[in-house]
Structure 1
Protein backbone atom coordinates (compact mmCIF):
# COMPACT_ATOMS: atom_id res chain seq x y z
CA UNK A 1 0.00 0.00 0.00
CA UNK A 2 2.81 2.39 0.88
CA UNK A 3 4.54 1.59 -2.40
CA UNK A 4 1.34 2.29 -4.35
CA UNK A 5 1.00 5.71 -2.72
CA UNK A 6 4.67 6.43 -3.35
CA UNK A 7 4.34 5.58 -7.05
CA UNK A 8 1.22 7.72 -7.33
CA UNK A 9 2.90 10.76 -5.79
CA UNK A 10 5.97 10.25 -8.01
CA UNK A 11 3.79 10.25 -11.14
CA UNK A 12 1.90 13.32 -9.93
CA UNK A 13 5.01 15.40 -9.20
CA UNK A 14 6.61 14.18 -12.44
CA UNK A 15 3.63 15.47 -14.43
CA UNK A 16 3.61 18.70 -12.42
CA UNK A 17 7.25 19.41 -13.31
CA UNK A 18 6.40 19.44 -17.03
CA UNK A 19 3.21 21.51 -16.56
CA UNK A 20 3.05 24.64 -18.75
CA UNK A 21 0.70 27.53 -19.52
CA UNK A 22 -0.63 25.70 -22.60
CA UNK A 23 -1.54 22.72 -20.39
CA UNK A 24 -3.44 25.05 -18.03
CA UNK A 25 -5.39 26.54 -20.95
CA UNK A 26 -6.11 23.03 -22.24
CA UNK A 27 -7.48 21.92 -18.85
CA UNK A 28 -9.58 25.08 -18.43
CA UNK A 29 -11.04 24.62 -21.92
CA UNK A 30 -11.96 21.00 -21.25
CA UNK A 31 -13.43 21.96 -17.87
CA UNK A 32 -15.62 24.58 -19.52
CA UNK A 33 -16.78 22.09 -22.18
CA UNK A 34 -17.69 19.53 -19.50
CA UNK A 35 -19.52 22.27 -17.57
CA UNK A 36 -21.59 23.11 -20.66
CA UNK A 37 -22.38 19.42 -21.20
CA UNK A 38 -23.50 18.99 -17.60
CA UNK A 39 -25.59 22.16 -17.84
CA UNK A 40 -27.16 20.85 -21.05
CA UNK A 41 -28.20 17.46 -19.66
CA UNK A 42 -29.15 18.67 -16.18
CA UNK A 43 -32.79 18.05 -15.28
CA UNK A 44 -33.40 15.99 -18.45
CA UNK A 45 -33.68 12.28 -19.13
CA UNK A 46 -30.06 12.36 -20.30
CA UNK A 47 -29.01 12.88 -16.70
CA UNK A 48 -30.36 9.44 -15.79
CA UNK A 49 -28.57 7.91 -18.78
CA UNK A 50 -25.27 9.43 -17.63
CA UNK A 51 -25.74 7.81 -14.22
CA UNK A 52 -26.29 4.45 -15.92
CA UNK A 53 -23.15 4.83 -18.03
CA UNK A 54 -21.08 5.74 -14.95
CA UNK A 55 -22.45 2.62 -13.23
CA UNK A 56 -21.37 0.43 -16.20
CA UNK A 57 -17.88 1.95 -16.31
CA UNK A 58 -17.45 1.51 -12.56
CA UNK A 59 -18.60 -2.12 -12.85
CA UNK A 60 -16.10 -2.74 -15.64
CA UNK A 61 -13.13 -1.50 -13.61
CA UNK A 62 -14.25 -3.28 -10.43
CA UNK A 63 -14.61 -6.61 -12.24
CA UNK A 64 -11.34 -6.20 -14.13
CA UNK A 65 -8.32 -8.41 -13.35
CA UNK A 66 -5.45 -6.40 -11.84
CA UNK A 67 -2.21 -8.28 -11.37
CA UNK A 68 0.83 -6.23 -10.49
CA UNK A 69 3.46 -5.96 -7.82
CA UNK A 70 1.54 -3.20 -6.05
CA UNK A 71 -2.11 -4.24 -6.39
CA UNK A 72 -4.24 -7.33 -6.98
CA UNK A 73 -8.01 -7.26 -7.52
CA UNK A 74 -9.82 -9.86 -5.36
CA UNK A 75 -13.12 -9.25 -7.27
CA UNK A 76 -12.12 -10.53 -10.69
CA UNK A 77 -15.45 -11.43 -12.35
CA UNK A 78 -14.54 -12.83 -15.77
CA UNK A 79 -18.01 -13.19 -17.27
CA UNK A 80 -19.21 -9.78 -16.03
CA UNK A 81 -16.04 -8.07 -17.20
CA UNK A 82 -16.29 -9.70 -20.64
CA UNK A 83 -19.90 -8.54 -21.15
CA UNK A 84 -19.22 -5.02 -19.91
CA UNK A 85 -16.17 -4.75 -22.16
CA UNK A 86 -18.28 -5.67 -25.22
CA UNK A 87 -20.96 -3.16 -24.22
CA UNK A 88 -18.45 -0.34 -23.72
CA UNK A 89 -16.74 -1.11 -27.05
CA UNK A 90 -19.80 0.24 -28.85
CA UNK A 91 -20.38 2.92 -26.21
CA UNK A 92 -19.47 5.87 -28.44
CA UNK A 93 -22.02 4.92 -31.10
CA UNK A 94 -24.63 4.17 -28.43
CA UNK A 95 -24.03 7.57 -26.79
CA UNK A 96 -24.50 9.37 -30.12
CA UNK A 97 -27.84 7.62 -30.54
CA UNK A 98 -29.02 8.06 -26.94
CA UNK A 99 -27.97 11.69 -26.65
CA UNK A 100 -29.06 12.72 -30.14
CA UNK A 101 -31.66 15.28 -28.89
CA UNK A 102 -29.20 16.88 -26.46
CA UNK A 103 -26.38 16.99 -29.03
CA UNK A 104 -28.69 18.48 -31.62
CA UNK A 105 -29.86 21.13 -29.14
CA UNK A 106 -26.24 22.01 -28.28
CA UNK A 107 -25.23 22.37 -31.94
CA UNK A 108 -28.31 24.49 -32.66
CA UNK A 109 -27.45 26.80 -29.75
CA UNK A 110 -23.87 27.13 -31.03
CA UNK A 111 -25.11 27.85 -34.53
CA UNK A 112 -27.53 30.56 -33.46
CA UNK A 113 -25.05 32.31 -31.17
CA UNK A 114 -23.72 35.68 -32.28
CA UNK A 115 -20.34 34.12 -33.03
CA UNK A 116 -21.92 31.44 -35.22
CA UNK A 117 -24.06 33.96 -37.07
CA UNK A 118 -21.09 36.23 -37.78
CA UNK A 119 -18.84 33.31 -38.70
CA UNK A 120 -21.18 32.00 -41.40
CA UNK A 121 -22.63 35.34 -42.41
CA UNK A 122 -26.17 34.42 -41.40
CA UNK A 123 -28.90 36.69 -40.12
CA UNK A 124 -30.38 40.00 -41.24
CA UNK A 125 -29.64 43.52 -40.15
CA UNK A 126 -32.00 45.35 -37.79
CA UNK A 127 -33.47 47.67 -40.45
CA UNK A 128 -34.54 44.75 -42.65
CA UNK A 129 -36.13 42.99 -39.69
CA UNK A 130 -38.02 46.15 -38.65
CA UNK A 131 -39.45 46.59 -42.14
CA UNK A 132 -40.79 43.04 -42.10
CA UNK A 133 -42.08 42.94 -38.53
CA UNK A 134 -43.37 46.46 -37.67
CA UNK A 135 -46.95 45.92 -38.83
CA UNK A 136 -46.88 42.21 -37.96
CA UNK A 137 -46.08 42.94 -34.29
CA UNK A 138 -49.06 45.31 -34.03
CA UNK A 139 -51.31 42.68 -35.63
CA UNK A 140 -50.07 40.01 -33.19
CA UNK A 141 -50.60 42.25 -30.14
CA UNK A 142 -54.07 43.44 -31.24
CA UNK A 143 -55.12 39.87 -32.02
CA UNK A 144 -53.89 38.49 -28.69
CA UNK A 145 -55.78 41.19 -26.79
CA UNK A 146 -59.03 40.38 -28.63
CA UNK A 147 -58.56 36.62 -28.26
CA UNK A 148 -57.79 37.12 -24.58
CA UNK A 149 -61.00 39.13 -24.06
CA UNK A 150 -63.08 36.30 -25.55
CA UNK A 151 -61.02 33.53 -23.87
CA UNK A 152 -60.15 32.02 -27.24
CA UNK A 153 -57.09 29.78 -27.08
CA UNK A 154 -54.19 30.68 -29.37
CA UNK A 155 -50.60 29.59 -29.99
CA UNK A 156 -48.32 31.79 -32.13
CA UNK A 157 -44.67 30.98 -32.87
CA UNK A 158 -42.46 33.86 -34.04
CA UNK A 159 -39.47 32.37 -35.87
CA UNK A 160 -36.07 33.98 -35.42
CA UNK A 161 -32.65 32.58 -36.43
CA UNK A 162 -33.47 28.87 -36.14
CA UNK A 163 -35.57 27.71 -39.08
CA UNK A 164 -38.64 25.64 -38.19
CA UNK A 165 -39.06 23.72 -41.44
CA UNK A 166 -39.79 20.40 -39.73
CA UNK A 167 -42.55 21.97 -37.63
CA UNK A 168 -44.01 23.85 -40.60
CA UNK A 169 -44.34 20.58 -42.56
CA UNK A 170 -46.79 19.29 -39.93
CA UNK A 171 -49.27 22.10 -40.65
CA UNK A 172 -50.98 23.91 -43.54
CA UNK A 173 -49.10 26.53 -45.55
CA UNK A 174 -50.91 29.90 -45.69
CA UNK A 175 -48.43 32.66 -46.63
CA UNK A 176 -50.91 35.27 -45.37
CA UNK A 177 -50.47 38.85 -44.21
CA UNK A 178 -51.16 38.97 -40.44
CA UNK A 179 -54.26 40.76 -39.20
CA UNK A 180 -56.80 40.54 -36.39
CA UNK A 181 -59.33 39.00 -38.76
CA UNK A 182 -56.92 36.29 -39.98
CA UNK A 183 -55.90 35.29 -36.45
CA UNK A 184 -59.54 35.36 -35.35
CA UNK A 185 -60.56 32.99 -38.16
CA UNK A 186 -57.64 30.61 -37.54
CA UNK A 187 -58.18 30.25 -33.79
CA UNK A 188 -61.98 30.34 -33.81
CA UNK A 189 -63.11 27.10 -32.08
CA UNK A 190 -64.07 24.13 -34.26
CA UNK A 191 -62.50 25.55 -37.42
CA UNK A 192 -60.10 23.22 -39.30
CA UNK A 193 -56.96 25.20 -38.41
CA UNK A 194 -57.64 26.16 -34.78
CA UNK A 195 -55.99 23.05 -33.29
CA UNK A 196 -52.25 23.71 -33.41
CA UNK A 197 -49.82 26.58 -33.69
CA UNK A 198 -49.36 29.41 -36.17
CA UNK A 199 -45.78 29.81 -37.43
CA UNK A 200 -44.70 33.30 -38.45
CA UNK A 201 -41.62 33.96 -40.57
CA UNK A 202 -40.39 37.31 -41.91
CA UNK A 203 -43.53 39.09 -40.73
CA UNK A 204 -46.09 36.82 -42.43
CA UNK A 205 -48.23 33.89 -41.29
CA UNK A 206 -46.38 31.07 -42.98
CA UNK A 207 -48.34 28.07 -41.66
CA UNK A 208 -51.14 27.15 -39.27
CA UNK A 209 -52.29 24.02 -37.41
CA UNK A 210 -48.67 23.02 -36.75
CA UNK A 211 -47.75 20.53 -34.03
CA UNK A 212 -44.97 21.55 -31.65
CA UNK A 213 -42.43 19.30 -29.88
CA UNK A 214 -42.89 18.21 -26.27
CA UNK A 215 -40.74 19.88 -23.61
CA UNK A 216 -37.62 18.00 -22.48
CA UNK A 217 -38.30 18.87 -18.83
CA UNK A 218 -41.99 18.01 -18.84
CA UNK A 219 -41.94 16.56 -15.31
CA UNK A 220 -40.79 19.89 -13.84
CA UNK A 221 -43.50 22.03 -15.46
CA UNK A 222 -46.36 23.30 -13.33
CA UNK A 223 -49.17 20.73 -13.43
CA UNK A 224 -51.75 23.48 -13.86
CA UNK A 225 -50.44 24.35 -17.32
CA UNK A 226 -52.33 22.91 -20.29
CA UNK A 227 -51.16 21.42 -23.56
CA UNK A 228 -50.73 24.80 -25.29
CA UNK A 229 -48.38 26.10 -22.60
CA UNK A 230 -46.39 22.86 -22.55
CA UNK A 231 -46.06 22.92 -26.33
CA UNK A 232 -44.89 26.54 -26.14
CA UNK A 233 -42.17 25.64 -23.63
CA UNK A 234 -41.10 22.67 -25.77
CA UNK A 235 -40.82 24.86 -28.88
CA UNK A 236 -38.78 27.49 -27.04
CA UNK A 237 -36.44 24.76 -25.72
CA UNK A 238 -35.79 23.44 -29.23
CA UNK A 239 -35.32 26.82 -30.92
CA UNK A 240 -34.82 30.54 -30.29
CA UNK A 241 -38.42 31.29 -31.29
CA UNK A 242 -40.71 33.54 -29.25
CA UNK A 243 -43.91 31.60 -28.53
CA UNK A 244 -47.09 33.44 -27.52
CA UNK A 245 -49.94 31.62 -25.77
CA UNK A 246 -53.48 32.80 -25.05
CA UNK A 247 -55.18 30.65 -22.43
CA UNK A 248 -58.57 29.23 -23.34
CA UNK A 249 -59.58 28.99 -19.67
CA UNK A 250 -58.46 32.37 -18.30
CA UNK A 251 -57.65 34.46 -21.39
CA UNK A 252 -54.22 35.14 -19.91
CA UNK A 253 -51.42 36.00 -22.37
CA UNK A 254 -48.10 34.18 -21.81
CA UNK A 255 -44.75 34.10 -23.61
CA UNK A 256 -42.26 31.22 -23.78
CA UNK A 257 -38.63 32.08 -24.50
CA UNK A 258 -35.48 29.97 -24.00
CA UNK A 259 -37.44 27.23 -22.23
CA UNK A 260 -39.07 29.58 -19.70
CA UNK A 261 -42.68 30.71 -19.53
CA UNK A 262 -43.79 34.13 -18.26
CA UNK A 263 -47.38 35.27 -17.84
CA UNK A 264 -49.71 38.26 -17.34
CA UNK A 265 -48.79 40.18 -20.50
CA UNK A 266 -50.60 43.32 -21.52
CA UNK A 267 -50.53 44.66 -25.06
CA UNK A 268 -47.67 47.05 -24.28
CA UNK A 269 -45.59 44.39 -22.52
CA UNK A 270 -46.15 41.93 -25.35
CA UNK A 271 -45.13 44.50 -27.96
CA UNK A 272 -42.06 45.40 -25.90
CA UNK A 273 -40.77 41.83 -25.64
CA UNK A 274 -41.40 41.16 -29.34
CA UNK A 275 -39.49 44.30 -30.34
CA UNK A 276 -36.65 43.48 -27.94
CA UNK A 277 -36.22 39.90 -29.17
CA UNK A 278 -36.65 40.64 -32.87
CA UNK A 279 -34.88 43.99 -33.17
CA UNK A 280 -32.30 43.91 -30.38
CA UNK A 281 -31.59 40.13 -30.53
CA UNK A 282 -31.63 39.74 -26.74
CA UNK A 283 -31.29 36.15 -25.61
CA UNK A 284 -33.12 36.36 -22.28
CA UNK A 285 -35.70 39.00 -21.48
CA UNK A 286 -37.87 38.97 -18.37
CA UNK A 287 -40.14 41.91 -17.54
CA UNK A 288 -41.11 40.92 -14.03
CA UNK A 289 -43.77 38.34 -14.85
CA UNK A 290 -44.12 35.26 -12.69
CA UNK A 291 -41.88 32.45 -13.91
CA UNK A 292 -43.74 29.12 -14.07
CA UNK A 293 -40.87 26.92 -15.13
CA UNK A 294 -39.89 25.04 -11.98
CA UNK A 295 -36.16 24.39 -11.71
CA UNK A 296 -34.18 22.49 -9.12
CA UNK A 297 -32.80 25.77 -7.75
CA UNK A 298 -36.35 27.01 -7.11
CA UNK A 299 -37.20 23.74 -5.38
CA UNK A 300 -34.18 24.06 -3.11
CA UNK A 301 -35.31 27.56 -2.12
CA UNK A 302 -38.76 26.23 -1.21
CA UNK A 303 -37.20 23.55 0.97
Structure 2
Protein backbone atom coordinates (compact mmCIF):
# COMPACT_ATOMS: atom_id res chain seq x y z
CA UNK A 1 0.00 0.00 0.00
CA UNK A 2 2.84 2.40 0.88
CA UNK A 3 4.52 1.70 -2.46
CA UNK A 4 1.31 2.50 -4.32
CA UNK A 5 0.97 5.78 -2.40
CA UNK A 6 4.53 6.81 -3.22
CA UNK A 7 3.91 6.03 -6.91
CA UNK A 8 0.83 8.31 -6.95
CA UNK A 9 1.80 11.60 -8.61
CA UNK A 10 0.06 14.96 -8.90
CA UNK A 11 -0.52 14.26 -12.59
CA UNK A 12 -2.54 11.16 -11.60
CA UNK A 13 -4.74 13.33 -9.38
CA UNK A 14 -5.24 15.77 -12.26
CA UNK A 15 -6.08 12.87 -14.58
CA UNK A 16 -8.75 11.59 -12.17
CA UNK A 17 -10.15 15.10 -11.65
CA UNK A 18 -10.54 15.73 -15.39
CA UNK A 19 -12.38 12.44 -15.92
CA UNK A 20 -14.62 13.08 -12.89
CA UNK A 21 -15.53 16.58 -14.09
CA UNK A 22 -16.25 15.27 -17.61
CA UNK A 23 -18.54 12.53 -16.26
CA UNK A 24 -20.28 15.03 -13.97
CA UNK A 25 -20.92 17.45 -16.85
CA UNK A 26 -22.33 14.68 -19.03
CA UNK A 27 -24.67 13.52 -16.25
CA UNK A 28 -25.72 17.11 -15.56
CA UNK A 29 -26.47 17.73 -19.23
CA UNK A 30 -28.39 14.48 -19.78
CA UNK A 31 -30.32 14.33 -16.51
CA UNK A 32 -34.07 14.17 -17.00
CA UNK A 33 -33.87 12.88 -20.57
CA UNK A 34 -34.72 9.47 -22.02
CA UNK A 35 -31.15 9.20 -23.25
CA UNK A 36 -29.95 9.37 -19.63
CA UNK A 37 -32.13 6.37 -18.74
CA UNK A 38 -30.68 4.44 -21.67
CA UNK A 39 -27.14 5.33 -20.58
CA UNK A 40 -27.93 4.04 -17.09
CA UNK A 41 -28.95 0.75 -18.69
CA UNK A 42 -25.69 0.79 -20.63
CA UNK A 43 -23.73 1.24 -17.40
CA UNK A 44 -25.58 -1.67 -15.78
CA UNK A 45 -24.80 -3.90 -18.77
CA UNK A 46 -21.12 -2.97 -18.54
CA UNK A 47 -21.07 -3.75 -14.81
CA UNK A 48 -22.78 -7.11 -15.41
CA UNK A 49 -20.29 -7.93 -18.18
CA UNK A 50 -17.32 -7.08 -15.93
CA UNK A 51 -18.67 -9.19 -13.05
CA UNK A 52 -19.41 -12.13 -15.37
CA UNK A 53 -15.86 -12.04 -16.72
CA UNK A 54 -14.37 -11.87 -13.22
CA UNK A 55 -16.27 -14.89 -11.91
CA UNK A 56 -15.61 -16.96 -15.02
CA UNK A 57 -18.93 -16.79 -16.88
CA UNK A 58 -17.22 -16.46 -20.25
CA UNK A 59 -20.27 -17.04 -22.45
CA UNK A 60 -22.41 -14.58 -20.48
CA UNK A 61 -19.62 -11.98 -20.60
CA UNK A 62 -19.28 -12.46 -24.38
CA UNK A 63 -23.05 -12.05 -24.93
CA UNK A 64 -23.21 -8.95 -22.74
CA UNK A 65 -20.20 -7.33 -24.43
CA UNK A 66 -21.83 -7.76 -27.85
CA UNK A 67 -25.11 -6.43 -26.48
CA UNK A 68 -23.24 -3.38 -25.18
CA UNK A 69 -22.14 -2.41 -28.69
CA UNK A 70 -25.69 -2.73 -30.05
CA UNK A 71 -27.11 -0.80 -27.08
CA UNK A 72 -24.65 2.07 -27.53
CA UNK A 73 -25.48 2.29 -31.25
CA UNK A 74 -29.21 2.40 -30.44
CA UNK A 75 -28.66 5.23 -27.95
CA UNK A 76 -26.80 7.29 -30.56
CA UNK A 77 -29.40 6.67 -33.30
CA UNK A 78 -32.60 7.00 -31.27
CA UNK A 79 -31.58 9.97 -29.14
CA UNK A 80 -29.46 11.99 -31.54
CA UNK A 81 -31.39 15.28 -30.95
CA UNK A 82 -31.23 14.91 -27.16
CA UNK A 83 -27.53 14.06 -27.23
CA UNK A 84 -26.84 17.05 -29.47
CA UNK A 85 -28.69 19.38 -27.09
CA UNK A 86 -26.85 17.87 -24.12
CA UNK A 87 -23.45 18.35 -25.74
CA UNK A 88 -24.44 21.88 -26.67
CA UNK A 89 -25.37 22.50 -23.05
CA UNK A 90 -21.94 21.27 -21.91
CA UNK A 91 -20.25 23.54 -24.42
CA UNK A 92 -22.40 26.43 -23.35
CA UNK A 93 -20.88 26.26 -19.86
CA UNK A 94 -17.39 26.87 -21.23
CA UNK A 95 -16.08 30.42 -21.27
CA UNK A 96 -14.32 29.94 -24.63
CA UNK A 97 -17.65 29.39 -26.37
CA UNK A 98 -19.63 31.95 -24.38
CA UNK A 99 -19.40 34.60 -27.12
CA UNK A 100 -20.69 32.12 -29.71
CA UNK A 101 -23.59 31.12 -27.48
CA UNK A 102 -24.46 34.76 -26.78
CA UNK A 103 -24.68 35.36 -30.53
CA UNK A 104 -26.91 32.32 -31.06
CA UNK A 105 -29.05 33.31 -28.10
CA UNK A 106 -29.49 36.87 -29.37
CA UNK A 107 -30.44 35.54 -32.82
CA UNK A 108 -32.97 33.12 -31.32
CA UNK A 109 -34.54 35.86 -29.18
CA UNK A 110 -34.75 38.19 -32.18
CA UNK A 111 -36.51 35.54 -34.29
CA UNK A 112 -38.98 34.79 -31.48
CA UNK A 113 -39.77 38.49 -30.92
CA UNK A 114 -40.26 39.15 -34.64
CA UNK A 115 -42.54 36.11 -34.99
CA UNK A 116 -44.57 36.99 -31.90
CA UNK A 117 -45.10 40.63 -32.90
CA UNK A 118 -46.17 39.57 -36.40
CA UNK A 119 -48.63 37.03 -34.97
CA UNK A 120 -49.96 39.59 -32.49
CA UNK A 121 -50.60 42.10 -35.28
CA UNK A 122 -52.77 39.49 -37.03
CA UNK A 123 -54.38 38.28 -33.76
CA UNK A 124 -53.10 34.75 -34.31
CA UNK A 125 -52.92 32.82 -31.04
CA UNK A 126 -49.59 31.27 -30.09
CA UNK A 127 -47.66 29.86 -27.15
CA UNK A 128 -43.88 29.41 -27.29
CA UNK A 129 -41.97 27.75 -24.44
CA UNK A 130 -38.23 28.34 -24.07
CA UNK A 131 -36.44 25.54 -22.23
CA UNK A 132 -33.73 26.50 -19.73
CA UNK A 133 -32.12 24.21 -17.12
CA UNK A 134 -35.19 22.03 -16.48
CA UNK A 135 -35.66 19.38 -19.17
CA UNK A 136 -39.12 19.29 -20.78
CA UNK A 137 -38.79 15.76 -22.15
CA UNK A 138 -42.33 14.61 -21.29
CA UNK A 139 -43.86 17.71 -22.84
CA UNK A 140 -41.71 17.34 -25.97
CA UNK A 141 -42.82 13.70 -26.27
CA UNK A 142 -46.48 14.81 -26.25
CA UNK A 143 -46.04 16.81 -29.47
CA UNK A 144 -44.69 16.43 -32.98
CA UNK A 145 -40.88 16.46 -33.42
CA UNK A 146 -39.56 19.33 -35.53
CA UNK A 147 -35.83 19.73 -34.76
CA UNK A 148 -35.21 22.83 -36.87
CA UNK A 149 -33.33 26.09 -36.37
CA UNK A 150 -35.52 28.80 -34.81
CA UNK A 151 -36.80 31.21 -37.46
CA UNK A 152 -39.58 33.77 -37.65
CA UNK A 153 -41.10 32.29 -40.79
CA UNK A 154 -41.23 28.77 -39.40
CA UNK A 155 -42.82 29.91 -36.13
CA UNK A 156 -45.44 31.91 -38.03
CA UNK A 157 -46.25 28.98 -40.31
CA UNK A 158 -46.65 26.62 -37.35
CA UNK A 159 -49.27 28.84 -35.68
CA UNK A 160 -51.13 29.68 -38.88
CA UNK A 161 -54.79 28.76 -38.13
CA UNK A 162 -55.00 26.07 -40.81
CA UNK A 163 -51.65 24.49 -39.97
CA UNK A 164 -51.90 20.93 -38.58
CA UNK A 165 -49.51 21.95 -35.77
CA UNK A 166 -51.16 25.22 -34.68
CA UNK A 167 -52.88 23.69 -31.63
CA UNK A 168 -50.63 23.37 -28.60
CA UNK A 169 -47.24 24.82 -27.73
CA UNK A 170 -43.92 25.06 -29.53
CA UNK A 171 -40.89 24.04 -27.45
CA UNK A 172 -37.53 25.74 -28.06
CA UNK A 173 -34.24 24.39 -26.73
CA UNK A 174 -30.99 26.28 -27.34
CA UNK A 175 -31.44 27.71 -30.84
CA UNK A 176 -33.75 24.98 -32.18
CA UNK A 177 -37.45 24.29 -32.44
CA UNK A 178 -37.63 20.88 -30.79
CA UNK A 179 -41.33 20.08 -31.10
CA UNK A 180 -44.71 21.62 -31.93
CA UNK A 181 -48.33 20.93 -30.98
CA UNK A 182 -47.25 19.98 -27.44
CA UNK A 183 -49.62 19.61 -24.49
CA UNK A 184 -48.87 21.69 -21.39
CA UNK A 185 -50.14 21.19 -17.83
CA UNK A 186 -52.88 23.69 -16.91
CA UNK A 187 -52.40 25.75 -13.76
CA UNK A 188 -54.95 25.28 -10.98
CA UNK A 189 -53.99 28.56 -9.30
CA UNK A 190 -57.24 30.07 -8.03
CA UNK A 191 -55.71 33.56 -7.92
CA UNK A 192 -55.42 33.83 -11.70
CA UNK A 193 -57.83 36.30 -13.34
CA UNK A 194 -60.98 34.74 -14.77
CA UNK A 195 -60.40 36.32 -18.16
CA UNK A 196 -57.26 34.24 -18.76
CA UNK A 197 -57.78 31.64 -21.46
CA UNK A 198 -56.39 28.14 -21.86
CA UNK A 199 -53.12 29.30 -23.44
CA UNK A 200 -52.30 31.58 -20.53
CA UNK A 201 -53.21 28.95 -17.94
CA UNK A 202 -51.06 26.42 -19.77
CA UNK A 203 -48.18 28.90 -19.82
CA UNK A 204 -48.54 29.44 -16.07
CA UNK A 205 -48.74 25.68 -15.53
CA UNK A 206 -45.51 24.81 -17.34
CA UNK A 207 -43.61 27.67 -15.68
CA UNK A 208 -44.87 26.64 -12.25
CA UNK A 209 -43.43 23.15 -12.73
CA UNK A 210 -40.13 24.15 -14.37
CA UNK A 211 -37.82 27.12 -14.92
CA UNK A 212 -39.00 27.45 -18.53
CA UNK A 213 -40.15 30.74 -20.06
CA UNK A 214 -43.43 31.01 -21.97
CA UNK A 215 -44.46 33.68 -24.48
CA UNK A 216 -48.18 33.88 -25.25
CA UNK A 217 -50.13 35.71 -27.95
CA UNK A 218 -53.86 36.15 -27.35
CA UNK A 219 -56.01 35.46 -30.38
CA UNK A 220 -58.85 37.58 -28.91
CA UNK A 221 -56.89 40.77 -28.23
CA UNK A 222 -53.53 40.24 -29.93
CA UNK A 223 -51.71 41.12 -26.70
CA UNK A 224 -48.31 39.61 -25.89
CA UNK A 225 -47.62 38.09 -22.46
CA UNK A 226 -44.46 36.78 -20.85
CA UNK A 227 -44.83 34.04 -18.23
CA UNK A 228 -42.06 32.73 -15.98
CA UNK A 229 -42.11 31.24 -12.49
CA UNK A 230 -45.92 31.26 -12.59
CA UNK A 231 -45.95 35.07 -12.94
CA UNK A 232 -47.50 36.84 -15.92
CA UNK A 233 -46.47 40.10 -17.55
CA UNK A 234 -49.16 41.19 -20.01
CA UNK A 235 -49.49 43.84 -22.73
CA UNK A 236 -45.83 43.81 -23.75
CA UNK A 237 -44.45 45.29 -26.94
CA UNK A 238 -41.59 43.84 -28.98
CA UNK A 239 -38.91 46.00 -27.38
CA UNK A 240 -39.83 45.13 -23.79
CA UNK A 241 -40.22 41.45 -24.69
CA UNK A 242 -36.74 41.38 -26.25
CA UNK A 243 -35.24 43.11 -23.20
CA UNK A 244 -36.82 40.72 -20.70
CA UNK A 245 -36.00 37.60 -22.69
CA UNK A 246 -32.37 38.76 -22.87
CA UNK A 247 -32.38 39.19 -19.08
CA UNK A 248 -33.96 35.82 -18.40
CA UNK A 249 -32.01 33.75 -20.90
CA UNK A 250 -28.25 33.33 -20.66
CA UNK A 251 -25.55 30.98 -19.39
CA UNK A 252 -26.76 28.63 -16.63
CA UNK A 253 -26.06 29.83 -13.11
CA UNK A 254 -23.97 27.82 -10.66
CA UNK A 255 -25.80 24.84 -9.24
CA UNK A 256 -28.66 22.85 -10.69
CA UNK A 257 -31.08 25.68 -11.39
CA UNK A 258 -31.50 29.38 -11.78
CA UNK A 259 -32.40 31.49 -8.80
CA UNK A 260 -36.13 31.94 -8.31
CA UNK A 261 -35.48 35.35 -6.76
CA UNK A 262 -33.89 36.54 -10.01
CA UNK A 263 -36.89 35.20 -11.91
CA UNK A 264 -39.26 37.09 -9.66
CA UNK A 265 -37.26 40.30 -10.05
CA UNK A 266 -37.28 40.06 -13.84
CA UNK A 267 -41.00 39.34 -14.14
CA UNK A 268 -42.55 41.23 -11.28
CA UNK A 269 -45.74 40.20 -9.52
CA UNK A 270 -48.12 37.37 -10.39
CA UNK A 271 -50.13 39.33 -12.95
CA UNK A 272 -49.50 42.72 -14.53
Of 213, 216, 232, the match for 1:245: 216
* Residue of structure 2 equivalent to 1:150: 122
1:1-303 aligned within 5 A: 124=93, 126-127=98-99, 129-217=101-189, 219-279=190-250, 282-286=262-266, 291-292=270-271
Q: Deviations over 1:100-142 (max 9, x none)?
A: xxxxxxxxxxxxxxxxxxxxx9973554541431211100000
Change (3 A) 1:216 1:127: farther
Query: Helix, strand or coil for the counterpart of 1:220?
Result: coil
Structure 2 Cα separation of the partners of residues 285 and 140 of structure 1:
22
Task: Report the Cα distance in structure 1 between the residues aligned to 2:133 and 2:233, rounded to whole angstroms.
Answer: 21
Structure 1 123/136 Cα, relative in aligned 2: closer, same or farther at 3 Å?
A: closer
Using the alignment, how far apart are the partners of 1:237 and 1:212 within structure 2?
A: 11
Q: Say whether the 8 Å CA contact 2:186–2:198 is kept in structure 1.
A: no
**Which one scores higher on RCO, CA 8 angstroms, separation ≥ 6?**
2
Q: Deviations over 1:38-64 (max 9, x none)?
A: xxxxxxxxxxxxxxxxxxxxxxxxxxx
In 1, the alpha carbon distance for the partners of 2:147 and 2:207 equals 22
| CA RMSD between the two structures | 2.2
Give the gaps of 5 or more residues in structure 1: 1-120, 294-303
Q: Distance in 2 between matches of 1:167 and 1:205?
A: 13
Deviation at 1:286, TM superposition (A): 3.9
Deviation per CA, 1:12-71, whole angstroms, max 9, x where unpaired?
xxxxxxxxxxxxxxxxxxxxxxxxxxxxxxxxxxxxxxxxxxxxxxxxxxxxxxxxxxxx
The question of whether the paired residues in 2 share the 8 Å contact of 1:153 and 1:251 is answered with yes
Counterpart CA distance in 2 for 1:163 and 1:146 is 29
Residues in 2 aligned to 1:235 and 1:124: alpha-carbon distance in whole angstroms? 25
> 1: distance between equivalents of 2:180 and 2:144?
5
Give yes or no for contact 1:123–1:161 (8 Å, CA) kept in 2.
no
Q: 1:287 to 1:242 in 2, by over 3 A?
A: closer
The answer to whether the 8 A contact 2:232-2:267 is kept is no
Runs (4+) of structure 1 moved beyond 4 Å? none
